[in-house]
């Protein structure tokens, strides 16, 4: 009987969600660069999501009208969306409880793909659409954030936050920014903007190229409160074996 009791306790311990430790721990280490595979979203899901989010849209870039003109609009991207001159696709997704505790939801990051959007426009806006079953409950612009790098519940309130990144690449230099965001009660809020977390010129081939990457930490974890968020910034020359050295703490002054 004692053996059965011990096995039951062990199984319950394994099944429990591991609690966040109070001591400092890594939230995300941007020194560890990995190739991110494109989200494998079935075509049927792509079409279902796009149809519920957009009044009208195109399915191929080749269908963009060469005669479309935003006219005197001060926001040509908004004009393209209104005219249906967009080719949306889902970039990323996550499942969790985003608008309230205990909800079963899916958050989709959508690249809107406004026709003729330039590099200066980050090639188009980005949105997050949250579905609860087949029902669209949140549809918000997320200020060009395009990747979900981690889902968290840092204050243990049952509502998941998302650590999201945005970025750009130009002439072999990659720049990436990160922010912790929330969709609690259907409102988009930036809980913490970390600013630039990666600045890597190694792909440029220029002499003296370097990579600067940040490590994000949480500490003082107490259920019901957001933990303390800090960051350290490291730099390395561009070698096969990166040798990182600490250069600063806190948000970078770019």
End-to-end CA distance of the chain: 64
Selection from 93, 82, 83 nearest residue 45 by Cα? 93
CB 90 within 8 A of CB 103: no
Where residue 29 falls among pLDDT bands split at 50, 70, 90?
A: very high
SS (H, E, C) 3-37: HHHHHHHHHHHHHCCCCCCCCCEEEEECCCCCCCC
Interval 151-178: pLDDT, tens: 999 999 999 999 999 998 888 899 999 9
pLDDT at 22 > cutoff 80: no
Least confident among 36-40, 94-98, 163-167, 231-235: 36-40
Three-state DSSP at 60 gives coil
Q: What is the three-class DSSP state of 243?
A: coil
pTM attached to this predicted model: 0.86
71-93 pLDDT tens trace: 777 899 999 999 999 999 999 99
Neighbouring C-beta atoms of residue 87, cutoff 10 Å: 19
Q: Any idea of the CA torsion for 21, 228, 93, 183, to the nearest 10 degrees?
A: 120
pLDDT digits (tens, 9 = 90+) for 115-134: 988 888 888 999 999 999 99
């Amino acid at each position: 009987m004692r053996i059965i009791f011990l096995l039951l306790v062990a199984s319950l311990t394994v099944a429990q969600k591991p609690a966040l430790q109070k001591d400092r721990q890594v939230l995300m280490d941007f020194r560890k660069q990995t190739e991110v595979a494109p989200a494998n979203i079935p075509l049927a899901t792509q079409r279902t999501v796009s149809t519920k989010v957009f009044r009208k849209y195109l399915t191929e870039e080749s269908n963009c009208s060469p005669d479309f003109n935003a006219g005197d609009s001060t926001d040509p991207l908004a004009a393209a969306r209104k005219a249906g001159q967009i080719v949306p696709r889902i970039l990323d997704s996550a499942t969790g409880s985003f608008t309230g505790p205990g909800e079963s939801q899916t958050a989709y990051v959508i690249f809107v793909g406004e026709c003729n959007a330039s590099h200066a426009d980050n090639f188009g806006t980005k949105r997050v659409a949250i579905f609860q079953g087949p029902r669209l409950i949140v549809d918000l612009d997320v200020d060009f954030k395009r990747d979900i790098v981690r889902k968290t519940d840092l204050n243990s309130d049952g509502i998941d936050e998302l650590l999201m990144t945005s970025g750009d690449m130009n002439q072999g230099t990659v720049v990436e920014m990160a922010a912790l965001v929330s969709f609690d009660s259907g409102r988009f809020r930036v809980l913490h903007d970390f600013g630039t977390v990666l600045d890597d010129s190694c792909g440029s081939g220029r002499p003296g190229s370097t990579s600067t990457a940040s490590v994000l930490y949480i500490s003082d974890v107490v259920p019901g409160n957001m933990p303390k968020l800090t960051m350290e910034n490291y730099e390395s020359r561009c070698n096969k074996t990166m040798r990182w050295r600490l250069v600063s703490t806190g948000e970078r002054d770019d």
